[in-house]
Amino acid sequence: MGLVNIKKYNFNIDFFETRLVYPFYSNVLNKSNQQNFLNPNQTISPELCSTIHIIDYINPYFQLSLNDATIPLRSFNFNQSVGFAVNLNNFSNVDEYMKLKMSPKGRTKMRGYLRRLETCFNIRYQMYYGEITLPNYEYLFEKLHSFITHRFEERGDNHEALKHWDTLKNSTYSMILEKKTSLFVIYDGDVPIDICLNYHHQNIMDNAIRSYDINYSKFRLGYIDILKQLEWCFKNGFEIFDMGFGDFEYKRRWSNEVYDFETQILYKNSHFVYKPIAFGLMYFLKSKAFLKEKNVDLMYHKFRSLIKKEGQSDSSESKSLFEVTALETKPKLEKLSEIDLRSDKYDFLKREIYDFQYLNFEHSQNIKVYNLINSPNIFIISGKNKNLQVKLIQL
């Protein structure tokens, strides 16, 4: 007998992205509605039999049935990752859900976030589910990629989805038309500012990939897109809005179910070598999960981030720096030159402009931005009642 092969799988990603069910399972039962998904491929090759399989991220509302009619397979089952979901089953609308989940103060804040966004911009919400043109799809996917890249560059982190982005892009369009996937978009006018990619299975909507234009950071787009998608779920019969793994404050704020993902280690029962190896793998993974629970991984990542920052060159720090001053009155028009904010040349100013709108409840149609003619590094943001001088220090 040769070396024992070990193979890892992410069931959550494989099932939702491609409906892939591994051949050693006969079916997937959705316990939340008792509907079965039969596996069309149950051919177990000799290679699969001589491999120990580690299946991670099995959602608790899925029950996987082993296909052990041909080859006797056994499993070690345990939990090692935490997930978050909104179960809407006992609620009739999003307001009813929010009354249970949030305090009166929290609900007031949420309504304030929404009102401020819709006061400052021409906001509309669009769910692409079952229908989208190919050019629009490609445009939105490119925008989502850009949002993720810029946001994670700012955080000094990496997004897992970017590692298989081309594969994701090639498969998602047809899945939207088949109602297996959707894109939820918040628009400012005709410009996307927040995009979420969701997967759909029966009564489950999996909120898989989400990002937004970081220039709108003050407007809590992440909260608003969840609110609007929950409204959509109620209207379209989806009972579970799954936010998946990753422990973040926004997930704890919105979810009413915190669950454990199951991990299964499958091994061939007909040879004495496989069982102790599978047991050793389980012990190792459980120990790793215990250390993660004690935040050892966070300390490690913080240490890596510090080392990374220390190793960066000075050029990486050359970002836009501003000196911001409130003005009682706007300078005379003959000293100013109005700039076109649609030009990419002035992208570096957008966050300052949107922050100004946020603080002053100013709508975009009332905003004008000028450059001082004799001081090209000084800009004036002018609203109905307020004016702001923005001096560019470094770019």
pLDDT at 40 over 90: no
> Angle at CA 202, nearest 5°, toward 195 and 100?
70
What does the block give as tokens for 349?
């100013």
Estimate the crossing angle of helix 94-101 against helix 104-120, to 10 degrees: 130
Average confidence (pLDDT) over 367-382:
93
What does the pLDDT read at residue 247? 87
Q: Which residues contact 63 (CB under 8 A, 6 or more apart)?
A: 28, 29, 31
Confidence tier at 70 by pLDDT (50, 70, 90): low
Q: Which residues contact 207 (CB under 8 A, 6 or more apart)?
A: 196, 198, 226, 229, 241, 242, 243, 244
- Identify which has the larger pLDDT, 287 or 110: 110
Average confidence (pLDDT) over 142-162:
88
Give me the phi and psi of 220, to 5 degrees please.
Answer: 55, 45
Q: What is the pLDDT of residues 163-217, one digit of tens each?
A: 889 999 999 999 999 999 999 999 999 999 999 999 999 999 999 999 999 999 9
What is the pTM for the complete model shown? 0.89
Burial class, 354, CB count within 10 angstroms (exposed 0-12 / middle 13-18 / buried 19+): buried
Average confidence (pLDDT) over 252-258:
94
pLDDT at 270 over 90: no
Confidence tier at 338 by pLDDT (50, 70, 90): very high
Confidence tier at 315 by pLDDT (50, 70, 90): very low
pLDDT at 120 over 70: yes
Mean of all residue pLDDT scores within the chain: 88
What does the pLDDT read at residue 69? 67
DSSP for 48-62? HHTEEEEEEEE-TTE
In the beta sheet, which residues pair with residue 223?
none
Confidence tier at 293 by pLDDT (50, 70, 90): low
Distances (CA, A) of 375 to 335, 344, 368: 10, 20, 18
Q: What is the pLDDT of residues 71-115, one digit of tens each?
A: 678 889 999 889 999 999 999 999 999 998 899 999 999 999 999
- Identify which has the larger pLDDT, 283 or 309: 283
pLDDT at 317 over 70: no
- Identify which has the larger pLDDT, 124 or 45: 124
Distances (CA, A) of 79 to 101, 249, 364: 26, 22, 49
> Angle at CA 275, nearest 5°, toward 271 and 280?
145
Confidence tier at 269 by pLDDT (50, 70, 90): confident
pLDDT at 45 over 50: yes
